[in-house]
Amino acid sequence: MMTLELDDETAHLLDQLTQREHLDPAQLVKQALADYLGTLQITHAGKNELMSDIIATLPSLPTFTGDPLAIQKALRDEWD
């Protein structure tokens, strides 16, 4: 267990959020930390991947296989 010391404004905001979300403060802080860590993982997940590596995988995608003109015609004809 940990005790956090919050300024009045932050404590008031936490109180408002707990009432609105129907969660106790510990649950709300836990959820906020999980969301924050998830965002960090998404933000940093692709940092090690080079654009050239991504482009190299494009020809293997179904969208990019086949005759480009036939693909373009099929895309245009789907609206008819």
Question: Sign (positive/negative) of CA torsion 30, 36, 42, 46?
Answer: negative
Question: What confidence score (pLDDT) does residue 48 get?
Answer: 64
Sequence letter at residue 29: V
37-69 pLDDT tens trace: 887 776 666 566 677 877 787 777 776 777 878
Helices (H) and strands (E) in the chain, counts: 4, 0
- Residue 5 — pLDDT band, cuts 50, 70, 90? very high
User: Alpha-carbon distance 48 to 39, whole Å?
Assistant: 16
- For the chain, what is the mean pLDDT? 81
Residues 6+ apart with CB under 8 A from 21: 28
Question: What confidence score (pLDDT) does residue 35 get?
Answer: 85
Give the single-character DSSP code of 66.
S
Question: What confidence score (pLDDT) does residue 9 get?
Answer: 93
